[in-house]
Structure 1
Amino acid sequence: MSTATPEAAVQAGMGFGHFIAQSDAVGKTLLAILVIMSVLSWALILIKGITQIVRQRRSEKFLGFFWNARSLDEVAGEIQTHGAHDPFGHLTAHAIHAQAHHARYGAAKLAEAGSAQDFVTRTIKKVLDEETTRLENGLTTLATIGATAPFVGLFGTVWGVYHALLAIGMSGSGTLDKVAGPVGEALIMTGIGLGVAIPAVMAYNAITRSNRVLNAKLDAFAFELMTFLSMGSPLADNGKSGKSAAPSVQPLRPAPLAANT
């Protein structure tokens, strides 16, 4: 024969399911928003993570071929045959094409004005900006989820506590066992908000650092590539030969971009 008291039976029936069943339209809407945030953030995390792994492997493969190639013509032939599927290959393809285009047609349009080196420099900067923009896609969404999810959960908690206190006040019983259950259920929303926000913030920081490292490597590679195109010799040859070095090329760094939506 069960010895459980009515109060214990009521408390045993409480939990997340009971909280959702007792929630009104506002509470359920807030929960749906948190679920959507969680699904969206994890989708972005998986997509960005897989993309970064693939991009890193392709970049390493291309750089290995590039630095072991005998000439830029060999690199251009490889790109023409197999295409450019990584940021370094994309940058190299556009830079070589820009130099060849200017050498063949000259400055036929305003976009091609200036010397061949000026045209190639502008092309490289444009590609670097495009790569930076591509790398930043989705990061604004992750940052927004990480910043707002805890407050959405907190709002859900406040709303749940408010309705729980109203129900307790109408029942005329304000003992601790009557208050603790409903208030504890309302705190679930805060926990859900934190559970949504923490992975998004951690992924945002990791992806941002990875993008910063890749941008630095692209910046250095663009400097080397511009030197090859302008002088036809690696940087290590400067100062070793009897010829005077050509004017130095300033490192190419993409301009700051506005936040993506």
Structure 2
Amino acid sequence: MNRLSTRHWGIRAFAPVALALALVVAPVASGIALAQDAEAPAAEAPADEAPVMTDPAATAEPAAPMEAAPIEDTGMAEVENPYGLKALWEQGDLISKGTLIILVIMSMGTWYIMFTKVWDQAKLFSQAKQVDRDFWKAPSLQEGLDKLDRGNQFRSLIEKGLGAAQHHEGRLTDQIDAPEWIANNLQRESEAIQMRLQGGLAFLATVGSTAPFVGLFGTVWGIYHALIAIGVAGQASIDKVAGPVGEALIMTAIGLAVAVPAVLAYNWLVRRNKAATEIVRNFVIDYGSYLVQSRSATARSH
């Protein structure tokens, strides 16, 4: 009994102590556990995000497409037409280059003649207006002549007719009647003006009629080269015939581009020349009649 009593007394004595330790240790243990649970995600989060933030391979991969794009654009910009005019000149033989040069000369001559003839015709029309405004309204022949510019083509007609009327006597031309002699001199001077107006029109007619055939010759020569390329290669592949056929088509196009403006310019200038010639002819008739009447009046007065 004494031994049991002593054991029960020891348990009772240590029970409060064990309870106190349990109350103290339990919160501490639970706090440690909570702290470990809270630190575990914080430690894992940088581990998961670290490859995205610090891995150089991940940051270098998006830059690769940005650097490749300008390279592709530059390559497309440098592509040239392998069958254009530049290739035609560089790859063509002596005959192809000679044909192209002839067409270029024809085109340059056409445009030069067209602009110069239009300028000459416009100047003649302006001079005709000056004659109507200043010469025919002058009180005398000499005063009307002085009002005209030195470069006026009608002035040469007036001087020519005046010289024929004043210097008819004392020469072999006395056998020709004075009116006929005056008319002949005026006719020759008017024809000289008309010849100057028509200068260059024959070149336009020649270009308009021959330029298509010159281009056709270049076309035939290009097809001939295409047939040679087919014969050498043994097969009609597009890369063998594209160059010569392109050369042939370019020659055809250039020939037409040279011929069409020449034909249009020729027809237009001929029509304007007819109007200018009619103006000169009417002036010659009126002025010749004036000189004949004036000479007759002078002869009657004497």
TM-score by length of 2: 0.66
Larger Rg over CA atoms: 2
Q: Residue in 2 aligned with 1:216?
A: 278
Q: Residue in 2 aligned with 1:139?
A: 201
CA RMSD of aligned residues (A): 2.6
Q: Residue in 1 aligned with 2:161?
A: 95
The CA distance in 1 between the partners of 2:226 and 2:115, in whole Å, is 38
Q: Residue in 1 aligned with 2:234?
A: 172
Q: Residue in 2 aligned with 1:192?
A: 254
* Equivalent position to 2:268, from 188, 201, 206: 206
Kindly provide the CA deviation profile for residues 91-149 of structure 1, in whole angstroms up to 9, marking residues without a partner as x: 122112211222xxx04134x53232121011111112211211111111111111111
Shift of residue 90, structure 1, vs aligned partner: 2.1
* Equivalent position to 2:172, from 90, 109, 120: 109
**8 Å contact from structure 1 (residues 23, 160) kept in 2:** no
**8 Å contact from structure 2 (residues 216, 255) kept in 1:** yes
Q: Residue in 2 aligned with 1:41?
A: 110
Cα gap change, 1:11 to 1:86, in 2 (>3 Å): closer
**8 Å contact from structure 2 (residues 160, 186) kept in 1:** yes
TM-score by length of 1: 0.75
Q: Which AA in structure 2 matches 1:152?
A: V
**8 Å contact from structure 2 (residues 121, 197) kept in 1:** no
Shift of residue 176, structure 1, vs aligned partner: 5.2
Higher relative contact order (CA 8 A, sep 6+): 1
Q: Sequence identity of aligned pairs in percent?
A: 39
The CA distance in 1 between the partners of 2:211 and 2:221, in whole Å, is 15
Unpaired runs of 5+ in structure 2? Answer: 1-67, 72-78, 295-302
Q: Within 5 Å, which residues of 2 pair with 1:17-56?
A: 17-56=86-125
Q: Residue in 1 aligned with 2:132?
A: 63
Unpaired runs of 5+ in structure 1? Answer: 3-9, 233-261
Q: Which AA in structure 1 matches 2:205?
A: A
Shift of residue 162, structure 1, vs aligned partner: 0.6
The CA distance in 1 between the partners of 2:182 and 2:145, in whole Å, is 15
Q: Residue in 2 aligned with 1:258?
A: none
| Higher percent of residues as helix | 2
Q: SS of the counterpart of 2:246?
A: helix
Kindly provide the CA deviation profile for residues 45-82 of structure 1, in whole angstroms up to 9, marking residues without a partner as x: 22222222222222211221122222323223435xx4
**8 Å contact from structure 2 (residues 211, 259) kept in 1:** yes
Shift of residue 12, structure 1, vs aligned partner: 5.3
Q: Residue in 2 aligned with 1:239?
A: none
Cα gap change, 1:186 to 1:166, in 2 (>3 Å): same
Q: What is the count of residue pairs matched by the alignment?
A: 220
Shift of residue 180, structure 1, vs aligned partner: 4.8
**8 Å contact from structure 1 (residues 107, 114) kept in 2:** no
The CA distance in 1 between the partners of 2:218 and 2:82, in whole Å, is 21
Q: Residue in 2 aligned with 1:5?
A: none
Shift of residue 152, structure 1, vs aligned partner: 0.5
